[in-house]
Amino acid sequence: MVCLLALMGTQSVMNPAVFVGPVEAGELFDKGFSDAAHTRDDSGAVDRFRRGIGDVRTNMLGSKETVSFVWVFPPRLLAYNWGYLCRRKYEPDDVVNRVKERLRGGVFGPTEQLHVEGHLRILPSRGGMYGALSRRANPKDLEDVRVVMSVGDRIYQPQKAPGGLLGEGGTGTNTFSTPASSSTRTEGSFAGPRGYGNFEIKETTFFTINHEENFKWYAGDFDVVFDVFNPDGSCRITTADKKLEIIVVYGSNERHAVYDLDDFLRP
């Protein structure tokens, strides 16, 4: 735990996005506790900090479909989520009071850590003609996953790299259609008052042929923690910083999830 005097000396440059005082943290806890009484889940708050990483394909409406995601949990969201989960799980009073006491004591924030979670799903590429598969999913992409945090021009490592993530897999079917056509030709002759001759009629019909390809997919989850303070006590995320970026490297892919730090100021 960074000592209180050190924190008092760094708050002047610490970005408020990674700081929540005990009073505000308690208010956020109470709001989460109240919201849990009339909402099914806390996805409305949590999903604001979700970012899709990696476009897989374009659907029929022209939108990109994304199946890999990153979530960042800033301190205000954690305070809210603690309250939400306490009510949602019907935690006993002693647990609720212990969490509130922790918040009132200022142990929760300024937080020393930033929690990041992610879900990676490896699907084949549909880069072939007319949407056919051009590359099969490779489970080796999940063998050595790296996640780093970029703030300004600075790169920070997590406390522990995710490493191998392969946790589940399954099969699916890719459907696509290719254009085709068929032609018919009719020949004949005619005779009439003005003479006779031959004729030829060509007709072309256009249609599509539907195809199906079976494929395998793979997926894995990670949970990493980044220190907010450097070993010398200086803050890694200062008032001069406006954005934070989580970079995920797996296989030949490098994906970026970008956050405006101002968004961390509300749960």
Domain ranges for the chain, please list them: 4-265
pLDDT digits (tens, 9 = 90+) for 123-142: 888 778 888 888 889 999 99
Taking residue 53's Cβ as centre, other Cβ atoms within 10 Å add up to: 21
Structure tokens belonging to residue 204: 């072309």
CA–CA dist 14, 19 (Å, integer):
8
pLDDT digits (tens, 9 = 90+) for 190-215: 777 777 888 788 888 998 999 999 99
Per-residue pLDDT, 32:
93
Chain centroid offset of residue 60 CA: 21
Per-residue pLDDT, 133:
87
Contact 18, 110 (CB under 8 A): yes
Per-residue pLDDT, 156:
97
Phi, psi of 261 (to 5 degrees): -60, -25
CA–CA dist 155, 149 (Å, integer):
6
Per-residue pLDDT, 22:
86
Chain centroid offset of residue 168 CA: 17
Contact 99, 29 (CB under 8 A): yes
The one-digit pLDDT tens for each residue of the chain (267 residues) are 443 434 444 455 889 998 888 888 899 999 999 999 988 887 778 899 999 997 655 544 455 667 899 999 998 998 899 999 999 999 999 999 998 888 877 655 446 789 999 999 998 887 788 888 888 899 999 999 999 999 999 999 999 999 999 778 999 998 889 999 898 888 888 777 777 888 788 888 998 999 999 999 999 999 999 999 999 989 999 999 999 999 999 998 999 999 999 999 876
Per-residue pLDDT, 66:
74
CA–CA dist 111, 76 (Å, integer):
10
Phi, psi of 185 (to 5 degrees): -130, 130
Per-residue pLDDT, 195:
76
Per-residue pLDDT, 194:
75
- Provide the terminal-to-terminal Cα distance of the chain, rounded to the nearest Å: 24
